[in-house]
Chain A
Amino acid sequence: MTELENYLFSGIPIRTTLDNSTTVQYAGLLCQLTMKARSTVRDIDPQNDLTFLRIRSKKHEIMVAPDKEYLLIVIQNPCE
């Protein structure tokens, strides 16, 4: 299994174990998606809020732990 992580601050990466261009791509795209996911949850129920986001794809799973200031993104290849 390969596990890669990066941390974000308002779309700007702070630390990463990936290469720069991939990190920037993930950062930008997932920041937007997380904001959209959060507003979806709060639109349905204003008392609720997003705690965790997981995206499952053919090749791996992306996990996002959101916060007021930061995002932690982890990409995992689940084994067979």
Chain B
Amino acid sequence: SQTSQDASVQTDQSIDVAQAFQQEVQVDYTSLLLFLQRVEDVVIKELNKNWTSRAFDGFEVNWTDQNETVLCLHTLSYPEAQDQHLQVTSVSWNATGSVLACSYGRLNDGDWSTEKSYVCTWNLDRRGLDPQRPDLVVDVPSSVLCLAFHPSQPSLIAGGLFSGETVVWDTSRRDDPLIWRTGLTDDTHTDPIYQVDWLPDAKHSNHVRLLSVSTDGKVLVWREEREGRLALAEGFALVAQQIPRSAQLKKLTWGEAAVGVTSLSFSHFDPRVFIVGVEGGYSLKCSMAAETPALRQTGSSVPLRAPAELAFSPHAGPVYSVSCSPFHRNLFLSCGTDGQVHLNSMLQTHPLLSLQLSKKYLFCVRWSPVRPLVFAAASGEGDVHLFDFAKSSQKPAVSIKQAAAECPVYCLEFNIKQTQLLAAGDATGTVRVWQLSSDFTEQGPREVTHLEQLASEATD
């Protein structure tokens, strides 16, 4: 046991002022009133002038050196994984933005894969970084299909496996990083896991709360139990008959609609709302607060609920990735095998915009964390397309060639802390870290307004 004693105590200046604010400040209300009457006219006149002023139109200041080009900063790989022809299935930045992890596995064959795979991490801020020697390599007995670093604890990373298991590694433990696992029980997924995510409240809590989605049609939430086990906390199952049908969607064969879930994105504005993408080509708006029991209860220990509230007009093929805008509560992107990106509003069934970015598949789409009008998409032709609605609503602002023409880019992630960095992983087993030009990293003056205008252009 330990005892502790405070050697000294420091009070935060701002807390004192805030406390002073809480108490009733001794104010001479008469003189305050006189002051307000004196300044009222002046201030209102200035406010009105600002409304109509065109003095600052087009006036922008550059405080930092403008970086004009997109550079490849790092080309990272793990040669042993490449020798086995493994592909990069997922990339993730950690909470501090200095460590990049990638998972090796296979995405292009549908066999039950029992070959082992790897999770590799590189600390990019470290001196002596060797791009072919990751700082940490974790051997995993099954193909890892997705990764997600914890939003506030820099060493915890979750992974979803081909076997249907969800696991958590602690990268600060070198000898045995595996600290939590679901194991293979009646509760676990029966299909590969295509995405894992930490729940939005995981940031502020010490407890492990993870979510996994799989092509078995389930979205499962895990919590920590004893001895490194993850137990099912709550779960959702998508069943074709329970998907709400909007009268505006053309008649489709719902009965066999494949509801295997391939992707998920939480709303940044309401942590209970999430969007999923399914193999049938639909994106669905779902809620963690849904209460209707699912028609399919697969013998799991916790009753599964039907989460879908709204179905959106589908892609012509499975959806591979969805992403909710960090700047607008209703906007989200989806992409899939039809090579299109749809910009959707959660308020209407039909997309606001459909962009054909690829003749092959689009594997991943992500909104920029700093530029409201920018998103990136990874294509089957080996390109990373950076789209900027401020520049064009029809074609990408920049297309970065990551890999050779037939070699798909499977995953990409923006770095939230170092906003000029974008990581992308491809089928050759290489991860490239791209440094974006300044126009992709600084928010323009009226971007949010522009985004809101985009969102309110209804197409029906």
Contacts and interface: CB of A to CB of B under 8 A. Distances in A.
Interface stretch (B49-57, B97-105, B226-234, B245-253): B49-57
Contact of B14 (A3, A9, A28, A65): A28
A75 B60 CA distance: 19
A21 B21 CA distance: 10
Given A24-B17, A58-B443, A78 B39 contact: no
B445 A59 contact: yes
Contacts of A11: 17
A72 B14 contact: no
B65 to A, nearest CB: 17
Nearest to A68: B35
Interface in A29-53: 52
A14 B46 contact: no
A12 B46 contact: no
B27 interface: yes
A78 B50 contact: yes
A63 B17 contact: no
B32 A24 contact: no
A80 B36 CA distance: 29
B331 to A, nearest CB: 19
B39 A65 contact: yes
Contact of A58 (B43, B51, B445): B445
B47 A74 contact: yes
Contacts of A7: 32, 36
Contacts of B42: 52, 65
B39 A72 contact: yes
Given A12-B21, A58-B445, A1 B43 contact: no
A3 B47 contact: yes
Range of interface residues on chain A?
20 to 34
B21 A67 contact: no
B150 to A, nearest CB: 26
Contacts of A63: 43, 46-47
What secondary structure prevails in chain B residues at the interface with A? helix
A16 to B, nearest CB: 8
Nearest to B22: A20
A52 B53 CA distance: 18
Given A11-B17, A28-B14, A80-B449, A67 B53 contact: no
A9 B25 contact: yes
Interface in A5-25: 7, 9, 11-14, 20-21, 23-25
Contacts of B53: 78
A63 B50 CA distance: 11
Contacts of B446: 80
A65 B40 CA distance: 9
A25 B449 CA distance: 26
A80 B54 CA distance: 9
A78 B51 contact: yes
A20 B19 CA distance: 10
A79 interface: yes
Interface string B25-37: 1010001100110
A68 B21 CA distance: 20
Contacts of A58: 60, 443-445
A14 B53 CA distance: 31
A69 B25 CA distance: 14
Nearest to A51: B42
A76 B50 contact: yes
A1 B444 CA distance: 17
A24 B36 contact: no
Contacts of A54: 46
13 contacts: A12-B20, A12-B25, A14-B25, A21-B14, A58-B443, A59-B443, A65-B39, A65-B43, A67-B35, A72-B36, A76-B47, A78-B51, A78-B56
Interface of B: 14, 17-18, 20-22, 25, 27, 31-32, 35-36, 38-39, 42-43, 46-47, 50-51, 53, 56, 60, 443-446, 449
